[in-house]
Amino acid sequence: MAMKKIALTQLEQLFAALSLTRKVYLPVEKAGQYDYAPWQPGLTYHPEVLHTVKSAKSVFFPQSEDLIRYKRAGLSLEISQQAPEDEEFVVFGVHACDVAGFEVLDRVFLSEPVDSYYKARREHGTVFSVMCAKPEETCFCGTFGIDAEAPGGDVQSWLADGVLYMEALTEKGEALLAAVSGIVSEVDDAGTQAAAETRAAHKAIMERLPLADLTTDGFGADAELLPLFNRPEWKELASSCLGCGTCTYVCPTCQCYDIREYNTGKEIRRFRVWDSCMYSDFTMMAAGTPRPDQMQRFRQRFMHKLKYYPDNYGGAFSCVGCGRCLQKCPISMNIVKVMRKLGGANHNDK
């Protein structure tokens, strides 16, 4: 399908047209920050925003979701199961790092046994990506082979001179652009050139970022597990970790969850909720926790990102270089410092 375009001043019309056939999620402002929420008339899309507080992961893998409800009626027990998502929706404004995050989650939740709730959302959801307008110094998606200038998804797009240029990459993407054919237009040679120049300028910025030289040397499926696991530097790196779990909650690839039950007084609800390997009671068993100190929990998080996940999924890493953990960690400890301390390249910590 040929590239399409629409003026930024017409985005309200675009969202309104899409909302006729599907729910539209996009980054919206909440108390001075941005997060994904359903669009409604009057909400403004801010293309200059780099990161939402939580990634777009939360649309496909909600922070909390009901699974089953139990209710006793006399001597009988009524059980109702929450049906998987069956409503069509589009996630608008996703950047390349978060699109790559979906692929990390797909390998986990769509492998046997398939997670039916996640699978349903992926089948009914269409990803509309936008190249990030202003990458920040904390970005390092290129370390993991992510092309920020080609953000991917079902439809990918670029902003240039007040125009949004769009290109369908999948059948779902083609269907989405066909649904708004009345308000988008074809792109001429000048528009194609403008989009290409925008991508080239963005690439030049990415190459100058402070973390552009960060490598995965010393990690991944080719690295030796036990020597990495037993490195003495883990103790130093973890010494100031608070175990707050902030890094896991802002991460677009963390997939740990717990299943709990809550008695409302009228019924019992079984629900799934995000969990964190940084917590002292994570994977708690009758005999206790398998990782009794914070160093072990800290090491588990980064070993999974950089070694265990690549071992299990063909060398792919469980980090997409979005930089959220660099921005949010209250003690400024993050995966970049781990990689530079333990990796093959001799860098100074930043």
* HSE-CB of 278 using CA atoms within 13 angstroms: 20
| Whole-Å CA distances, 280 to 35, 293, 313 | 28, 8, 27
Beta carbons of 18 and 180 less than 8 angstroms apart:
yes
Q: What pLDDT score does 345 carry?
A: 46
Q: Where does 65-155 have alpha helices with state H?
A: 96-109, 116-124
CA angle 238, 248, 320 (to 5 degrees): 100
pTM of the model: 0.92
Among residues 180, 162, 141, which one has the least CA distance to residue 47? Answer: 162
Q: What pLDDT score does 1 carry?
A: 63
> Which element (helix H / strand E) includes 326?
helix 324-328
* HSE-CB of 4 using CA atoms within 13 angstroms: 22
**CA 6/CA 157 separation, integer angstroms:** 11
Q: The tokens of 321 are what? A: 């270089």
* 81 φ/ψ sector (left φ>0, alpha ψ -120 to 50, else beta): beta
Q: The tokens of 284 are what? A: 């708690």
Which residues does residue 178 pair with via DSSP β-bridges, in sequence order? none
Q: What is the chain's length?
A: 350
CA angle 119, 257, 241 (to 5 degrees): 135
**CA 12/CA 34 separation, integer angstroms:** 18
Distance, CA of 59 to chain centre: 10
Q: What pLDDT score does 300 carry?
A: 95
Q: The tokens of 138 are what? A: 């904390």
Residue 306's φ and ψ, nearest 5 degrees, are -105, -10
Q: What pLDDT score does 248 carry?
A: 95
Distance, CA of 139 to chain centre: 14
Which residues does residue 153 pair with via DSSP β-bridges, in sequence order? none
Beta carbons of 56 and 98 less than 8 angstroms apart:
yes
Q: Per residue in 43-54, pLDDT tens?
A: 888 888 888 988
CA dihedral 325, 327, 332, 337 (to 10 degrees): 60
Q: Are strands 155-160 and 125-130 parallel, antiparallel or unpaired?
A: parallel
Residue-level pLDDT, tens digit, the chain, 350 residues = 689 999 999 999 999 999 999 999 999 988 888 999 999 998 888 888 888 988 999 999 999 999 999 888 878 888 888 888 889 999 999 999 999 999 999 999 999 999 999 999 999 999 999 999 889 999 999 999 999 999 999 999 999 999 999 999 999 999 999 999 999 999 999 989 999 999 999 999 999 999 999 999 999 999 999 999 999 999 999 999 999 999 999 999 999 999 999 998 889 999 999 999 999 888 887 777 888 899 999 999 999 999 999 999 999 999 999 999 999 999 999 999 999 999 974 444 44
